[in-house]
Amino acid sequence: MPLSEHEQRLFEQIERSLAEDPKFASAVRASDPRFHARRRVLVAAGVVIAGLALLIYGAVIKTPPLAVAGFVVMLASLGYAVQSHRRSQSPDLHVVGGTTSRRTRGRTGRRGSFLDRMEDRWRQRPEGHR
């Protein structure tokens, strides 16, 4: 439901007053889920590098279990980084002031999107073809 003109003016006034408060802005920035998702991606990248170093070190000293452990660490942190990146791109993580438009995805979309598309096709079918 759209806001009335009076409500829109009040909303804009509240936005302006909140934007002028630097303490509030830093608190909102710190509670932004996208900020935490980016931080997790950076930490995971560091762990990938550590896993790669462990893999190389294990190969150089000819200790296969150490090299395999390095590979497992590297692979697990890569998976964690990809998962964190995907979560940071999801539309439900946008904070106040962010966009609320839903992104359309291709074949790599969410699990339910296939069923949603099939339901839409079913609703849009011609009435004579059942």
**What burial letters (b/e) apply to 108-129, b meaning 16+ CB within 10 Å?**
eeeeeeeeeeeeeeeeeeeeee
125 half-sphere exposure, CB direction, 13 A CA radius: 10
- For 71, the token pair is 């590979």
pTM of the model: 0.50
CB 73 within 8 A of CB 51: yes
Output the pLDDT for position 91.
60
Written as tens digits, the pLDDT of the chain (130 aa) is 677 888 888 888 877 777 777 777 677 666 667 778 888 889 999 999 999 999 999 999 999 999 999 999 999 999 998 888 887 776 654 445 444 444 444 444 555 678 888 788 878 877 765 5
Q: Measuring CA to CA, which residue among 91, 95, 119 is closest to residue 105?
A: 91
